[in-house]
Structure 1
Amino acid sequence: MVNRSVGAPRVVLARALVYLALLAVVAVSLFPIYFALTTSLKQTRDAFTTPPTWIFTPTLEHHRFIWLETPFPRYLFNTLVITIGTVLLSIPLGCMAAYYLARYRSRPIQVLLFSLLAVRAFPRILLLVPFFLVARAAQLYDTHILIILIIAAFNQPFAIWLMRGFFLDVPRELPEAAMIDGCSSFQAFRRVVLPVVRPGVFTAALFTFLFAYNEFLYCLILTGSDAKPLSVAIAQYGAEKIEYWSWSAAGAVGILAPIVLFIAVMQRHLVKGLTFGTLKG
């Protein structure tokens, strides 16, 4: 009883220190977002005063300018086309490949898995010039399909490795029982296995969405005016004139909004996917 009473303050102190450390990390992580949001809502003369202006009258002028007087909506449309196209291409192919690699285990399968890992680790910048020459030769430069294919190719090893872990947690007897009941191998995969690993599929889709949404290098080199996404276009809002930085802050908030909305919608599936297979009943 005495030991418990002595150890209790130490436990409370340790938890308090952990919570303070987590709070500090959250504050540091959210401060750039707070700074961009407040800068986008300030008048230009109040945005960069020294000391900072904490109390101000909000204005939506910079947001109005970004959305109504610049091609920002078109850049957002290009970003969504590239991102959604990458997810729709990468996830179905990754699901089927991951299921096969999880169901059949042999030495060639292990070699293939590590080959995929090597592709993921390969420096992407080394392939930039070959992709540029191929895009010019195939007349695919500055098109959505080119960027979708490239991002999906680079993302595929990650998607396969991630979803393979979820498929490994599915008992082999489950699809086998479905095939005994008359399902083909593909029907067992689609009707029985996929619903079980749905949280994992949503998790892989979320990471693929973020990977495609934030792609910069290949979009910078392989797009012009037609397929330019927000990750590249946002740079044009920053310049020497101070009002450009307020526009850049408004653009940063505009870029962040679809990500926040998507994660808010997918949060429940993300939590399930990250904890899938951790508890064995």
Structure 2
Amino acid sequence: MNTHRSRTSQLLLLLALCLFTALMLTPVAWAFLTSIKLPIDAFAIPPKLVFTPTFEFHQQVWMEKGFARYLANSLVIAVSTVVVSVSIGTMAAYGLSRMRGKAARGVLFGLLSLRMFPHMLLAIPFFLLAKFLNLIDTYPAMVLALVAINQPFTIWLMHSFFVDVPSEIDEAAAIDGASEWQIFFRVVLPIVRPGLWVTALFSLLLAYNEFLFALVLTGPHTKTLPVAIAEYGGEDLNYWSLSAAAAIGIMVPIMAFMALMQRHLVRGLALGAVK
């Protein structure tokens, strides 16, 4: 009886997960279908399920509209942000995880309060500062702004991984003669490496999808994909097909990265779940 109930529960859970996944993938599937349909087919009522596919809009996006350059800008800004943010956040999180008392808790909650600030309140100060430093339409302006915004998230996420590493490991390494830097790089960091990949992925997603700061701080030379996609739309139905093709294209690098890093991501998400 218990075995039958367990199988029934697993079957219901699997069915619920399949329905949830189908629901989440519906907008993506609809965008893909829109990108390979002519406007007369894409906006037909009722929707046409049988049509002649065309990749004309994908070709226009990448060959004629210069989206390859915008993709390069997005990747440069996102990767640079990840390198700087994760490097600083990892060291800060390790130090906070080894602090005793209420000081570390106060710092963490202070960082969390900064992360809760609406981006709109920070966009104007960042713009004025970048304009004063003559950094508008440059990579450093976007990277510094994204690092400042995403740093609290990086520290909090890495802190959750470091606190699961017993401090006795640090003490044992110190007894063996290891310095603080050796303990961090050679002992503790390899243990939380899966968590490091998870943090890098989420930081990459936040930087790669950023729109507001990219709209304010970038220009013709550093425009990113989210800003470029926002230029299409409106009354011309062809622009909607172009936007759909660009939206599908913007997901490809992230999907490729997640496919390559799947093993590390699964280990990182499960890190600390089993004591």
Match of 2:185 in 1: 190
- The residue number in structure 2 matching 1:18 is 13
- 1:159-191 deviations in Å (ceiling 9; x for gaps): 111111111111212222223223211011101
Residue 247 of structure 1 corresponds to 242
Runs (5+) with no aligned partner, structure 2: none
CA apart distance, 1:196: 0.6
- Cα distance in 2 between the residues matched to 1:85 and 1:79: 10
CA distance in 1 between partners of 2:124 and 2:47 (Å): 45
Contact 1:206–1:266 (Cα < 8 Å) also in 2: no
Give the deviation of 1:51 after TM superposition: 2.1
- Structure 1 or 2, whichever has the larger Rg, is 1
Deviation at 1:220, TM superposition (A): 1.1
Aligned to 1:51: 46
1:121 aligns with 2:116: yes
SS at match of 1:127: helix
Deviates more, 1:222-231 or 1:8-17: 8-17
Q: What is the match of residue 65 of structure 1? A: 60
Where does residue 141 of structure 1 map in the other structure? Answer: 136
Quote the Cα distance in structure 1 between the aligned partners of 2:103 and 2:191.
Answer: 27
Secondary structure of the corresponding residue to residue 237 of structure 1:
coil
Confirm or deny that 1:175 pairs with 2:159.
Answer: no
Answer whether contact 2:97 2:104 (CA < 8 A) is retained. Answer: no
Amino acid in structure 2 at the alignment position of 1:130:
P
Which amino acid letter does the alignment assign opposite residue 176 of structure 2? D
Letter in 1 for 2:74: T
Higher mean Cα deviation, 189-198 or 101-110? Answer: 101-110
CA contact (8 A) 1:66 1:247 kept: yes
Match of 1:165 in 2: 160
Asked if 1:272 is matched to 2:267, the reply is: yes
Q: Partner residue of 1:155?
A: 150
| Distance in structure 1 (CA, Å) of the matches to 2:176 and 2:82 | 33
% same residue? 51
1:82 maps to amino acid: I
Contact 2:154 2:199 in 1 (8 A): yes
Query: What is the CA-CA distance between 1:200 and the residue it aligns to?
Result: 0.7
1:130 correspondence with 2:107? no
Aligned to 1:210: 205
Deviation at 1:203, TM superposition (A): 0.7
Contact 2:119 2:212 in 1 (8 A): no
Residue 113 (structure 2) pairs with residue 105 (structure 1): no
Aligned residues: 275
Structure 1 regions of 5+ residues with no counterpart?
Answer: none
Task: Map Cα deviations across residues 196-248 of structure 1 (whole Å, 9 max, x no partner).
Answer: 10001111101101111111111112222121111111011223121111111
- Corresponding residue SS for 2:228: helix
Aligned mate of 1:225, from 208, 220, 240: 220
Q: Secondary structure at the match of 2:181?
A: helix
Structure 1: which amino acid aligns with 2:263? R
- Is 2:81 aligned against 1:89? no
Deviation per CA, 1:24-67: give whole Å up to 9, x if none.
22111101111111121223332222222212232221111111
On the 8 A contact 1:75/1:233 being kept in 2, the answer is: yes
Quick one: distance in 1 between partners of 2:28 and 2:34?
Answer: 10
SS at match of 1:142: coil
| Shift of residue 14, structure 1, vs aligned partner | 4.2
Greater alpha carbon shift after TM alignment, 125-134 vs 44-53: 44-53
Distance 1:181 1:47 in 2: 68
